[in-house]
Amino acid sequence: MLAFNIIGQGGGPFATGLLSDILAARGVADSLRVAMLGVTPVAVIAALCYFAQLRHVIDDAAAVERDAA
């Protein structure tokens, strides 16, 4: 999870800036705003993946506690 977090925090702003530059070159007004709105669904999908993973983390923590006892 740490690697995904590092990649996301490093790649997210880069991708947003790149998309903003591409949109600005095509003459889109408020290209940064449009780029930020364009990458928002990626954050929502990532949050849903984290919530889906939470169930497995809880099950694994319970198994470790059970085995340690």
What is the per-residue pLDDT across 29-69, written as a single tens digit (0 to 9) for each? 999 999 999 999 988 998 899 899 998 999 999 999 999 87
Res 11 pLDDT > 90? no
Query: Quick one: pLDDT at residue 33?
Result: 96
Q: For residue 12, is pLDDT > 80?
A: yes
For the chain, the DSSP string reads -HHHHHHHHHHHHHHHHHHHHHHHHTT-TTHHHHHHHHHHHHHHHHHHHHHHHHHHHHHHHHHHHHHH-
Q: Which token pair is 8?
A: 């996301």
Tell if the pTM clears 0.75, that is, is over it.
no
Q: How far is CA 45 from the centre of its chain?
A: 7
Which residues form the domain of 16?
A: 2-68
Structural domains in the chain (count):
1
